[in-house]
Amino acid sequence: MIQQLINKIQKTEAPIVVGLDPMLDYIPEQIKEKAYKEKGETLAGAAEAIWQFNKGIVDATYDLIPAVKPQIAMYEQFGIEGLIAYKKTIEYCKEKGLVVIGDIKRGDIGSTSAAYAVGHLGKVTVGKNTYKGFDEDFATVNPYLGSDGVKPFIDVCKEEKKGLFILVKTSNPSSGEIQDKLVDGKPLYELIGEMVSEWGREHMGDSYSYIGAVVGATYPEMGKILRKLMPKTYILVPGYGAQGGKAEDLVDYFNKDGLGAIVSSSRGIIAAYKAKNYEKFGPEAYADASRQAVIDMREEINTALVKGGIK
Amino acid sequence: MIQQLINKIQKTEAPIVVGLDPMLDYIPEQIKEKAYKEKGETLAGAAEAIWQFNKGIVDATYDLIPAVKPQIAMYEQFGIEGLIAYKKTIEYCKEKGLVVIGDIKRGDIGSTSAAYAVGHLGKVTVGKNTYKGFDEDFATVNPYLGSDGVKPFIDVCKEEKKGLFILVKTSNPSSGEIQDKLVDGKPLYELIGEMVSEWGREHMGDSYSYIGAVVGATYPEMGKILRKLMPKTYILVPGYGAQGGKAEDLVDYFNKDGLGAIVSSSRGIIAAYKAKNYEKFGPEAYADASRQAVIDMREEINTALVKGGIK
């Protein structure tokens, strides 16, 4: 799956993943009105609105991008109905040929991580049959419990030819409270980066490992160090745009082959029609605004990569 | 909710939480056969088997225990159908007067943690209405992203009078790979313990905070230190029984008031009928075996607490 992701990045010339993190506030009124008319102002109504909103954005952007990253929390907040919309979104994105990165940030003790891995990336056995629960292509994983909490995910990825992005340095303001603490003179995120790199060496695709890392766009100096520390690791880079990450900051997350990083943007793309730059599209054409935002983001990143000598 | 939990612990004289982590392997054949006959060897069939199994255990133990702790991963592995069984289990346990600790180990950047908090502990707004997604009483939280990933959970708990157990030192063998690393000469779990204690001081119930901690039974030396470091923090102690934690090891997790800790056992109770000690019950009476295992665990812990001078 990592090679499939790389192929699609090369084909689209867009090292971009669109974060499908739909807040109800992002969804244009006409979509909410229609959904609530059909299903009421209920969890099912909210889930229908989310699904229709996502579908519009996917239809308008799937030819431009390699991958999407639905954030499961944004669905889970609507309970079962929300999770049905999450699953439906995954299925639809896969039909459209997109690679799906489930932003689930799960992680637990071994037997429990195995259950998460099976439910999101693998197959569960019931009697003589096997079933796929959510069936994302990649998942994000929290490493705080150590290797026995991560290994079950790696095992399932190996079997299913899928992949992971393990949290190394997250994009949020307080990520340093734990992740930056010095351990033997080195920040903890470097230690975790070394662990990820080591797991990656044992689980290689053609040119990159299918065990990737998450490093926030908001910490470019750390991204530069982590890039060197994890040469064969694909880096998922959240925090671009709305969270403050800029295109020129991203250059050091890439390798000299022009690969090695995929940049995530959520609000900046899915709620583009609400931003000054794209307000001319209006809520009816929200998906066209998203398409334009993807084109602009691709341009920004590629320009920065050319300037930075990467492309 | 923390005071309600304490009241129930005092009333039952059982500082015990039963982990409802049903693996299909734990479930007696007669329950699986009936469920598969009704719903096929499908995800719905598995979910029905889990639900009937849980119901049997809850019916046989609810008068003896203060709380249950369903591990969401064990349900999530069966996709949507599994999560419906998770929700049904929560609702039933609450009907029976049990406190429900959702072992969800969520944690993300601020806005995303807020969505998890709303979905599991709070209410989500759809138009003019509000809904509860899963509605656990407590949830476990992973602190790896720092305070801005934890605060949204605390805010919802404050509003809803619910509570958290934040991972400090987990029970699994490799938890030390990250959690034991020395930071300024002190292990990371102590640093997190201090953070939890600080959050707790600002969010007090009557005698204990509603911001608790998770400290594994498998690391009693560390439990002893953390107990002192977090005097007003309730400690959820997993790892008892099957994972290796013993009753005499647990004494130091309690305060001199006989409170301050609640010990979780999952396999040792829900799959008791499969263990040598309880095999006389047989699979048909699996729930009676679970009841006996709860009575024995209560006895073991209370005996250890008396010997340890806590009771």
pLDDT score for B171: 94
**Number of domains, chain A:** 1
Which residues of chain A are within 8 Å of residue B41 when distances are taken between CB atoms?
126-129
Across the interface, do A142 and B107 touch by the CB < 8 Å criterion?
yes
- Domain coverage including residue A91: 2-307
Q: For the domain that residue B203 is a member of, what is the CATH number?
A: 3.20.20.70
Banded pLDDT at B142 (limits 50, 70, 90): very high
ipTM above 0.95, yes or no: yes
What distance in Å separates residue B11's CA from the closest CA in chain A?
A: 31
Chain A / chain B CB contacts < 8 angstroms: 225
Residue B40 CB contacts under 8 Å (≥ 6 apart), including other chains = none
Among A residues 52-81, those touching chain B with beta carbons less than 8 Å apart: 71, 73-74, 76-80
Q: Reply yes or no on whether the pLDDT at A259 is more than 90.
A: yes
DSSP states along A4-48: HHHHHHHHHT--EEEEE---GGGS-HHHHHHHHHHH-SSHHHHHH
- The answer, yes or no, to whether residue B245 has pLDDT greater than 80, is no
C-alpha Rg value of chain B to the nearest Å: 19
User: Could you tell me if B118 lies within 8 Å of chain A, comparing CB atoms?
Assistant: yes
User: Distance (Å, rounded) from C-alpha A206 to C-alpha A163?
Assistant: 13
User: What pLDDT digit, counting tens, does each position of A183-208 carry?
Assistant: 989 999 999 999 999 999 999 999 99
How confident is the model at residue B243, as a pLDDT? 73
pLDDT at B310 over 80: yes
**Among B228, B255, B250, residue whose Cα is nearest residue B239:** B250
Neighbours of B201 (CB within 10 A): 14
Residue the block writes with tokens 């015990």: B16
Q: Which of A80, A107, A176 sits opposite B80 (nearest CB)?
A: A80
Decide if A188 and B171 are in contact by the 8 Å CB cutoff: no
- Read off the pLDDT of each residue in B258-272 and give the average, rounded to a whole number: 96
Q: How confident is the model over A232-247, as pLDDT tens digits?
A: 999 999 989 877 778 8
Residue A298's pLDDT band (cuts 50, 70, 90): very high
**Could you say which DSSP state residue B25 is in?**
G
Mean local confidence (pLDDT), B46-69: 98
Mean of pLDDT values over A45-49: 98
